Amino acid sequence: MKGRTIALDHLNGSEAAALMVDGILQDLLVDTDLPRPGTIYRAIAMRPMKGQGGMFLNSPDGPCYLRQIKGLAAGQPLLVQVTGYAEPGKAIPVTTKILFKSRHAIVTPDAPGFNISRSIRDEEERVRLIEIAHEAMDEGSHGLILRSSCAGADRDEIAEDIQAMADLANTVMQDTTGEAETLVEGDSPHALAWREWSESAEIDTEAGSFETQGVLDAIEELRSARVRLGEGAMFIEPTRALIAVDINTGGDTTPAAGLKVNLAAMKDLPRQLRLRGLGGQITIDMAPVPKKDRRTIESALRAALKLCTIETTLVGWTPMGNLELQRKRDRIALSQVLG
């Protein structure tokens, strides 16, 4: 099945969205009963964590953890935004750097200035977008980022998006006093799909679209730790401390087998981690290759990471020859969703 398809359906009773490209599942969003990333609270400072440089806050959804203590006092209300899903038994991660995101615009309170996505390189288009930004939003304490989806988009649609986010930012950022309260709910999977998957695609909103579009079959494959890579395979296995990735050549015994399967694994690894909702520390045990091939492997991984929106840092090689990554936890593990 060629082309891009966005399926909006439900999975185990929860709202879900899937992006299929040429018949391959590229992204999957599933709702949970946990606070969604992007949720904005008025939270109350509780106590600092001495030696850790952070502070616990009280929110309507339970304790939050903020990596900041400078200038904060116990009992002080402050506005914070959820940055990702909490690990089991841990506080909700939050930040004071609040963003108001929509399909075309991101409003950045207390970070003035207008910016345009670097992926928009046409100078005439950049001039057009700056003009729209100045007409739709006054320059002040709020900044603005125009996203890549703005390229070629309708002028009124962009302006409406900018104005909506600016109005929301003005309202929320002034609501600084009172008890702990949820001020803005994070986007649901269907809203996120509209916001983030902005390239042209067929939209399937029929009940059962996950089955008709092949999403359920792809999800079933994700239940297994094994990912087939030609004759080789990689195994992705979460542990309490880290995500272990083991790459094997399988039945291929040719001299180039190790490099071939490692390159195939690097190309698919970001997609697999994204679909499985895995983040944190990741350790990759490569199939045997000489040290001279490491740069080639790194280049393949960096190219694949550029296509992934989830922040990932390539930390480097260990003395034992493993490659380590650090990946932001902004998804819930699929294993928790599927049960």
pLDDT(267) > 90: yes
Segment 68-74 shows an average pLDDT of: 81
Does the pLDDT value for residue 13 go beyond 70? yes
Q: List CB contacts of 63: < 8 A, sequence separation 6 or more.
A: 46, 56, 57, 91, 92
More confident of the two residues 185 and 337: 185
pLDDT band for position 11 (cuts 50, 70, 90): very high
Q: What percent of the chain has pLDDT over 70?
A: 99
Predicted confidence band at 110 (pLDDT cuts at 50, 70, 90)? confident
DSSP code per residue over 99-166: -EE-SSEEEEET--EEEE-TT---HHHHHHHHHHHHHHS--SSEEEEE-GGGTT--HHHHHHHHHHHH
Is it the case that residue 65 has pLDDT exceeding 90?
A: yes
* CB distance 269 to 276 below 8 Å: no
The more confidently predicted of residues 40 and 331 is: 40
Q: Which CATH architecture has domain 223-338?
A: 3-Layer(aba) Sandwich (3.40)
Residue from 211, 254, 246, 210 nearest 227 by CA: 246
pLDDT over 80 (residue 1): no
- Give the pLDDT confidence of 137-166 residue by residue, as tens digits: 987 779 999 999 999 999 999 999 999 999
Q: Reduced to 3 states, what is the DSSP secondary structure of residue 267?
A: helix
Average pLDDT, the chain: 94
- At 233 the pLDDT is 97
Q: pLDDT per residue over 81-103, tens digit each?
A: 999 988 888 899 999 999 999 99
> pLDDT tens for residues 203-236?
999 999 999 999 999 999 999 999 999 999 999 9
Q: Using an 8 Å Cβ cutoff, are 62 and 45 in contact?
A: no
Mean pLDDT of 114-136: 95
How confident is residue 278, by pLDDT bands cut at 50, 70 and 90?
A: very high
Instruction: Identify the three-state secondary structure at position 47.
Output: strand
- H/E segment holding residue 231: none
196 φψ region: left (φ > 0), alpha (ψ -120 to 50), beta (else):
alpha
Class of domain 40-98: mainly beta
What strands, in cross-sheet order, belong to the sheet with 243-248?
226-229, 232-238, 243-248, 280-285, 323-327, 312-317
pLDDT in tens, 290-317: 999 999 999 999 999 999 989 999 999 9
- pLDDT bin (cut points 50, 70, 90) of residue 195 is very high
Q: Name 246's bridge partners.
A: 235, 285
Cβ partners under 8 Å of residue 220, min gap 6: none
What per-residue confidence (pLDDT) applies to 51? 65
> What's at 262, amino acid-wise?
N
Phi first, then psi: give them for residue 133, nearest 5 degrees. -60, -45
**What percent of the chain clears pLDDT 90, i.e. is strictly above it?**
84
Tokens read off for 84: 């990702």
